[in-house]
Amino acid sequence: MRLSGGLAALGLVVCLVFPGAVALGKPLRVVVITDAAGLGDRGFNDVCWRGVEKAREELGLEAQFLQSREQADYVSNLTLAAKRADVIVTLGYLFVDAVQRTAPRFPHIFFVHMEGEISGENVACFDFKSEEGGFLAGLVAGVFTRSRKIGVVTGMDIPPVEAYVSGFRAGVDTAAVRRGEGIEVIVASAGSFNDPVKGKALAQALMGKGVDVIFRAAGNTGVGVMEAVKNSDGVYLIGEDLDQDGELPGKILTSTLKRLDVAVHGALSDIARGSFQPGHRWMGAQSGAVGITEMRYTRGLFRPEDLEFVAMVSTMVARGDLVVPRTMGGLKTFSPPNMP
Amino acid sequence: MPWRGGWLPSTFFSACLMGLLLCATSGMATGHGPFALIRAIWEGSWGSVDAAITTLAKMTPLLLTGLAVAVAWRVNLLNIGCEGQLTLGALAAATFALQAESLPSWALIPLSAAVGAAIGALWSWPAVALKHFRGTHEVITTLILNYIATYLAEYLVLGPLGDGSAMGRTAQIPSGAVLKPVLSMGVPVAPFAGVLLCLVVQAWLSRNVWGYEVTVVGINRVAAETSGINARGWERRIFLFSGALAGMAGAIEVLGVHHRFYRAFSAGYGFDGVTTAFLVQGLPGMLWLSALLMASLRAADKWLQLALGVSPNMILVIQAGVLLAAVCRPAAVFFRRGRVPWK
Amino acid sequence: MIALENVSRRFGFLWANRGVSIEVCRGEIHGIVGENGAGKSTLLKILSGHLQADAGRILLDGKPVHFRSPGDAAQAGIGLVHQHLQIFPQLTALENVVLGMEPKAFGFLRRKRARRRCGELCEIFGFSVPLDAPAGELPFAGRQQIEILRSLYREVRVLLLDEPTSLLSPPEINRFFRFLVSLRLQGRTVVLVSHRLEEVMEAADRISVLRRGKCLGTFVPREVTVEELAERIVAGSRVGDEPSLSRSGGEPSVVDHRKEGKPKGIVFRMIHARGGGSEYEAGLNDVTLEVGEGEILGIGAIVGNGERTLARMISGMMPCREGSIHFLERDISSLPVWERRELGLRWLPANTFEEALLPRRPLWENLLMGHHRPLASRPWGWFRREEIRAWGEACLAMGDVVHGGLGEPLESLSGGNQQKLALTRVLAGSPRLIVMEQPGRGLDIRARRNLWERLGRMSIQGVSFVIISHDVEELLSCCHRVGILFRGRLAGVAAAQSVSVECIGRWMLGLT
């Protein structure tokens, strides 16, 4: 009796201390950790989850997601997940500190991180040249706008968002040069990625200022922006991070694409094959991870020459001929290419 | 005997009962069986050493903000402003620790906490001053002060006090200012200190002449004044103390958990303090019970997701149900019947 | 109609009622008399469903009934008017009356119908309640009428009255007894609890005597004298030298100190004071008065003539709009209450239960208020328990308070004992001037005598008193000087020995 009790206790300790030990011969277990917005933001988190699901179907993974209630929970959630999983995927810039602190404690666990740079032998992290997507979106908005006023609703002003905004502004400027007339860009920040109510209010305020295109770069907050656009005529939206065109067909000019799913899927496949590559990588238009949609509902709204113009500039960006500024500082020195 | 023994607040038990009931019904509704949710909450909060440490760490701010609300309630003031006091206290503590990093650790930690407490008290002062001189209700003023505090902190941390990045946060505090867990295995010491503080406050209220004055002011202000007690003075002092406790909660969060201040800092600890206090009818000596419950619920949400795939918002529903039960006090009537003969 | 059989009820170690059997007939006014703590209020509360008997039973019209709540009793037609009135001060008089029985239509109060019914009742019984005034602003008599109206509104057959006359002035008492007679004429039954034997003798058809929770029998007023009744009430104590508190009974022994020379110096001075007042109660209007060291100054008034304002202004609860107040050579007009208390000025409010006591807290906490600081250790202020216990026991013994232990809550005491506790608290220590409103409220004859003896002794030691009471006869027999307030003005002040009752009467009615 006592012996078996002791063995059970020992087993428990083993399980706690060597979580990897019990995983041998079993499918790879993946835990995806998100910020307070969680899944269902129809943006960043959902795109990543799509990549995980694809990998799950192809590779037979076990995947779970974990929504964090507050920033104080990041480290403890990572710790908890590390004890139940072989791979941890963290989504978003806010996790950088926590992963940096946790990863060294679990050298046998693989960490895949989206947005932000983290060092470590067991960490692979991906950054996206959001500015390139933003640039193309800005281009589309710039050639489209009739009121010559364009709005942007952002979540928090963190670096990836800043990249989006500065790229977007650069795109608008390029279009303005082509049109030969000035275009105003108004940026409104909600201060949170998870506040749809505020997003809606900000969008309505922007419309009040005469804006006819709004770019949402606000995570779950953008759901409110979409809501506002849905209810008003003559105002169009530009989606972010994944193809949202189908959500309001005809009202969403285009969506920026950030193929987080490609990156996540790639990283998970690497791990499953045993060829994990640690380190930090930039994903951009060149690798096909960033871009805009084909505008399948809204092509009719544009003049053909404008569409040609957009397509031409896109290829320039994809070839690397055109460098888009990633920060506000870079935007100041950016001079729009003069095109025929 | 002139002193009667303590009693267990029936409110708390009725609240627990309600919580269990909610867990059971929602567990059944989601097809996990009536006990799955309860077990998941237990395992998530106390099931392993790590979980227990997390839960304990979450107790500290709840204890302090709960005590802040409880002591203010003792003089019939409702401090809804813990959220703002906590936020500014945290920012002040982080800033102080960054400025005074040359100080030795034994001085830096208590001084940073004290600075946080002082700022918290300062932020509660307008509410009580306006109440005394203009008759403004403290619930309204503290609520408004919360908004001011949140945005003031946001402004400061994006501007002069930030680390220069666009993240809206301060730099990491020096390692000398980090409040390290002292007990073995990383068990934090702060929650135990918090419980001790609550017990001391309880003893002070029931066995100390000044605590007695506070009690009398809270029960019958007219009677207190006619007995030579400065009711207004006590209201002011206790409210400032309440603000200081909330500020201290923020400071300890910075020193012990986050090691920096960032915007949207509080995560609702200020408002959960109200729940914590009212679960035990504002008895400081019983706060450890309710803080334990609230911290367990807060800590369990990750396990709920991993083990059952249930949304963490379920925890919010349970918390709301628990508070509702505490406010209704159905069992209080039940437990009372026949016990108190006078009425 | 109602019969109590062997009803018993215990609080802690105290038997409040022990095997009480009383029979009340239909259409009679049944008096219940007894000492403080004899169990009178408890009995009424059992009858009205506020308390449940531990043993015994209640028969209503010959059938045993069991009231689990006041609602049950109300349904059976029994209503209680409490000693401590149960009034919602923010609501209007009308709302207070109809509370719980509101005439409703689709959830809205049918105000007109309620008003008509209340108006009828007021007319029948000769009440003059301003129905739209907030109840909290009415004088005591008005609030009492609200509570009585509430019972009448519910068509009670049996009205239980607990000390209804304790805060009423003499003319109001007369009116009140006329009201009782009109109730009887309507065939309703009244159970009346009172300390004032003469009143009960005059009004009641039969009188039951309670002593220490037991019923000593029921008497018909014509067949016993006041003295015989008094003897039964206090049985065992010296009844022979019971001082008559009325002037006609000769000079009471307790105030002999009055002859011992003139007051030495002026302790308190109020100069041309104005302030306070509401629609329903007079404020002070140019009042000037002085109190000498060791003097007992009585202030008499009919309810609502500014007597409450006077006490509140002296104590500091109410600001002095004009004029000034001086105490011990110092202008205290702008000092807050607690600072005045620290100078030695104390106040006993009229409604001690609400304004001076903590009903749910233990006796020792109640007793300690105002005396707490010296009983704590320095410098941290922790209570010295043993000292507090000794002090508390001594204090309660001095005040003759019957209690079941210092840890019991105040609510467990009878109304009279609560008053005694408040009195002994305000008298303890070393006060210089004490303002007392209705100090004799709820006290029986013996306690009243003890109180006046104690005041007399303290005044010889140099403590001054301002005593505000509606019982002018009592003031005349026990104070050095007596003043009368009429509509906020001091109608006159005179030495109690030399002034004639007629003169006082004229002052009270505002004639000069």
Distance between CA atoms of C446 and C467, rounded to whole angstroms?
19
Give the residue among B164, B77, B99, B120 at the shortest CA–CA distance from B266: B120
Q: Write the residue in B209, B226, B229 that is nearest to C383 by C-beta.
A: B209
CA A225, CA B216: separation in Å to the nearest integer?
54
Region label for A165, one of left (φ > 0), alpha (ψ between -120 and 50) or beta (otherwise): alpha
Question: Which of C:7-26 have CB within 8 Å of B?
Answer: 10-12
Interface contact flag, C356 B341, Cβ < 8 Å = no
- Residuewise pLDDT in 10s, chain A (340 residues): 444 444 444 444 444 444 443 344 578 889 999 887 777 776 778 888 888 888 888 888 888 888 888 777 888 888 888 888 899 999 888 888 889 888 888 988 999 998 888 888 899 998 888 889 999 999 999 999 999 999 999 988 788 888 899 999 999 999 998 888 889 999 998 888 888 899 999 999 999 999 999 999 888 888 899 999 988 888 999 988 888 888 888 889 999 888 888 888 888 988 888 888 888 888 888 888 888 888 888 888 888 888 898 888 888 888 888 888 888 888 888 887 766 5
Confidence category of residue C146, pLDDT binned at 50, 70, 90: confident
pLDDT at position A275:
85
pLDDT at residue number C345: 92
Residue ending a domain, choose from C200, C220, C236: C236
Nearest-Cα distance to chain B for C287, in Å, is 23
3-state secondary structure chain B: CCCCCCCCCHHHHHHHHHHHHHHHHHHHHCCCCCCHHHHHHHHHHHCCHHHHHHHHHHHHHHHHHHHHHHHHHHCCCCCCCHHHHHHHHHHHHHHHHHHCCCCCHHHHHHHHHHHHHHHHHHHHHHHHHHHHHHCCCHHHHHHHHHHHHHHHHHHHHHCCCCCCCCCCECCCCCHHHCCCCCCHHHCCCHHHHHHHHHHHHHHHHHHEHHHHHHHHHHHCHHHHHHCCCCHHHHHHHHHHHHHHHHHHHHHHHHHHHHCCCECCCCCCHHHHHHHHHHHCCCCHHHHHHHHHHHHHHHHHHHHHHHHHCCCCHHHHHHHHHHHHHHHHCHHHHHHHCCCCCCC
Report pLDDT digits (tens) over C264-288: 688 899 999 988 877 667 788 888 9
In three-state secondary structure terms, C247 is helix
| Residue B201 distance to chain C (closest CA, Å) | 12
Whether the predicted pLDDT of C252 surpasses 50? no
pLDDT of residue A142: 92
Model confidence, pTM: 0.76
Give the pLDDT confidence of A92-135 residue by residue, as tens digits: 888 888 898 888 889 889 999 988 888 888 999 988 888 899 99
Q: Which of A292-306, B138-152, C46-60 has the highest mean pLDDT?
A: B138-152
Considering only CB atoms, C358 lies closest to which of B220, B225, B226, namely B220
Res B1: pLDDT: 27
How would DSSP label each residue in C125-192? HT----TTSBGGGS-HHHHHHHHHHHHHHTT-SEEEEESTTTT--HHHHHHHHHHHHHHHHTT-EEEE
What are the structure tokens assigned to A71, written together? 């920033």
Question: Residue B341 domain-assigned?
Answer: no
Q: How far apart are CA A253 and CA A255, in angstroms?
A: 7
8 A C-beta contact, residue A188 and residue A194: no
- Tell me the residue type at B88: L
Q: Which chains touch A (3 or more CB pairs under 8 A)?
A: B
Q: How many CB pairs under 8 A join B and C?
A: 103
pLDDT of C244: 40
**pLDDT band, very low/low/confident/very high, at B337 (cuts 50, 70, 90):** very low
pLDDT of residue B149: 94
Is residue C56's pLDDT more than 60?
A: yes
More confident residue, C112 or C250: C112
Q: Return the closest-CA partner of residue B37 out of B317, B329, B330.
A: B317
Q: How far is the C-alpha of C59 from the C-alpha of C53, rounded, in Å?
A: 13
Q: Is B255 inside any structural domain?
A: yes
Give the model's pLDDT for residue B326: 74
Backbone torsion region of residue C438, taken as left when φ is above 0, otherwise alpha when ψ lies between -120 and 50, otherwise beta: left
Tokens of C138: 């009415």
Indicate if C463 and C419 belong to the same structural domain.
no
pLDDT for res B212 = 92
Chain segment C487-502, per-residue pLDDT in tens: 888 888 888 888 887 7
C269 or B330: whose pLDDT is higher?
C269
The band of C235, judged by pLDDT with boundaries at 50, 70 and 90, is low
**Is B236 domain-assigned?**
yes
- Please give the structure tokens belonging to residue C233: 């009430």
Please determine, for residue C340, whether its predicted confidence score (pLDDT) is greater than 70: yes
Q: Would you call C8 helix, strand, or coil by DSSP?
A: strand
Is C353 domain-assigned? Answer: no
Are residues B343 and C405, on separate chains, in Cβ contact within 8 Å? Answer: no
As for how many domains chain B has, the answer is 1
Kindly indicate the confidence band of residue B40, based on its pLDDT and cuts at 50, 70 and 90: confident
Three-class SS state of C437? strand
Q: How far apart are CA C484 and CA A213, in angstroms?
A: 84
**CA C93/CA C150 separation, integer angstroms:** 10
Mean pLDDT of B256-278: 86
Residues 6+ apart with CB under 8 A from A308: none
Q: Is residue C352 part of a domain?
A: no
Q: Is there contact between A and C if contact means ≥3 C-beta pairs under 8 Å?
A: no
On whether the CB atoms of residues C416 and C84 are closer than 8 A, the answer is no
Top mean pLDDT of A38-42, C20-24, C245-249 is at C20-24
Asked whether residue C113 carries a pLDDT value surpassing 80, the answer given is yes
- In this prediction, residue A340 carries a pLDDT of 54
Number of separate domains in chain C: 3
Which amino acid appears at position C86 of this protein?
A: Q
Residue A7: what pLDDT?
46
Q: Is residue B92 part of a domain?
A: yes
Q: How far apart are CA C375 and CA B208, in angstroms?
A: 10
> Does C402 share its domain with C259?
no
**C466 burial via Cβ count (<10 Å: 0-12, 13-18, 19+):** buried
Exposure string over B265-280, b if 16+ CB within 10 A, otherwise e:
bbbebbbbbbbbbbbb
**Whole-angstrom distance, CA of residue C162 vs CA of residue C158:** 13
Q: Transcribe C89-126 into DSSP letters.
A: TTSBHHHHHHTTS--EETTEE-HHHHHHHHHHHHHHHT
Residue with token string 């799955």: B36
pLDDT at site B120: 96
Residue C199, phi-psi category: left (phi > 0), alpha (psi -120 to 50), beta (remainder): alpha
Is C212 a domain residue? yes
Model confidence band, residue C116 (pLDDT cutoffs 50, 70, 90):
confident
Domain ranges of chain A: 6-128+260-287, 132-256+303-332
Domain at A6-128+260-287, CATH from 3.40.190.10, 3.40.50.2300, 3.50.50.60, 3.40.50.300:
3.40.50.2300
Contacts of B307 in chain A (CB under 8 A): none
Q: Are C369 and B216 a contacting pair at CB < 8 A? A: yes
Structure-model confidence comparison of residues C199 and B237, the more confident one: B237
User: Which tokens is C278 given?
Assistant: 């509401």
> For chain A, what is the largest distance between any 2 Cα atoms, rounded to a whole number of angstroms?
88
The strand pairing partners of C435, in sequence order, are C347, C466
Whether residue B50 and residue A79 make contact (CB cut-off 8 A), yes or no, is yes
Selected residue with higher pLDDT from B239 and C498: B239
Q: What pLDDT does residue C512 have?
A: 64
CA distance A119 to A125: 9
Residue B1 lies in a domain: no
User: What letter represents residue B5's amino acid?
Assistant: G
**Torsion-angle region of residue B130: left (phi > 0), alpha (psi -120 to 50) or beta?**
alpha
Q: Which of A272, A274, A263 is nearest to A61 (CA)?
A: A272
The amino acid present at C393, given as its one-letter code, is E
Question: Distance between CA A258 and CA A242 in Å, rounded?
Answer: 6
Enumerate residues 218 to 247 of chain B having a beta carbon within 8 A of any beta carbon in chain C: 219-220, 222-232
Q: Mind telling me how many Å the CA of A296 is from chain B's nearest CA?
A: 35
Sequence-separated (6 or more) residues with CB below 8 Å from residue C174:
none
In a domain, B342, yes or no: no
* Local confidence band at B324 (pLDDT 50, 70, 90 cut-offs): confident
Please say which residue of C395, C429, C463 terminates a domain: C429
Confidence check: pLDDT of C465 > 90: yes
Residue C400, phi-psi category: left (phi > 0), alpha (psi -120 to 50), beta (remainder): left
Dump pLDDT digits (tens) for B146-201. 999 998 998 898 888 888 766 678 888 988 888 887 766 777 888 999 999 999 99
Q: Is C384 on the interface with B (CB under 8 A)?
A: no
Show the domain range for B168: 9-335
Rg (CA), chain C: 23
In the stretch 401-420 of chain C, residues with CB closer than 8 A to chain B read: 405-407, 409, 411-412
In the predicted model, is pLDDT for residue C259 greater than 50?
no
- C38: part of which helix (H) or strand (E)? none
Q: What is the pLDDT of residue B242?
A: 96
Q: What is the pLDDT, as a whole number, of residue A235?
A: 92
Q: How many CB atoms lie within 10 A of CB B343?
A: 9
Q: How many CA atoms lie within 13 A of C80 on its CB side?
A: 25
Residue C28 bridge partners (DSSP): none
**C142: its two tokens:** 């008005």
Cα C476 off chain centre by: 19
**Res C391 pLDDT > 80:** yes
Region C343-356: what's the mean pLDDT?
A: 87
User: Given this chain, do its domains A6-128+260-287 and A132-256+303-332 carry the same CATH topology?
Assistant: yes
Residue with tokens 């980090």: B178
The percentage of chain A sitting over the pLDDT mark of 90, rounded to a whole number, equals 23
The amino acid at residue A314 is S
Check whether domain A132-256+303-332 has CATH 3.40.50.800, yes or no: no
Domain contains C351: no
Q: What percent of chain C has pLDDT over 90?
A: 10
Asked whether residue B202 is domain-assigned, the answer is yes
pLDDT digits (tens, 9 = 90+) for B62-86: 999 999 999 999 999 999 999 999 9
In whole angstroms, give the CA distance from residue C509 to residue C512: 9
B108: domain CATH number is 1.10.3470
Which of B212, B220, B230 is the closest to C338 by Cβ? B230
CA distance B64 to B287: 9
Query: Residue B314 has what pLDDT?
Result: 80
The torsion angle over the Cα atoms of residues B263, B264, B267 and B272, rounded to 10 degrees, is 110
Chain C residues in contact with B215 (beta carbon < 8 A): 361, 365
Which residues of chain A are at the B interface, by a Cβ-Cβ cutoff of 8 Å? 16, 31, 38, 64-73, 76-77, 79-81, 83-84, 93, 156-159, 162, 191-192
The residue behind tokens 């505490």 is B326
Please give the Cα distance from A175 to A140 (Å, whole number).
8
Residue-range definition of the domain harbouring residue C499 = 242-344+430-512
Distance of CA C145 to the CA centre of its chain: 16
Contact B10, B329 (CB under 8 A): yes
Give the pLDDT of residue A339.
Answer: 64
Question: Looking at residue C323, which CATH number applies to its domain?
Answer: 3.40.50.300
Q: What is the pLDDT of residue A187?
A: 92
Average pLDDT, chain C: 82
* d(C-alpha B284, C-alpha C2), whole Å: 49
| Alpha helices (runs of H) in C317-444, residue ranges in sequence order | 337-343, 352-355, 363-368, 385-398, 415-427
Looking at this protein, which amino acid is placed at residue A103? A
What pLDDT was estimated at residue C34? 81
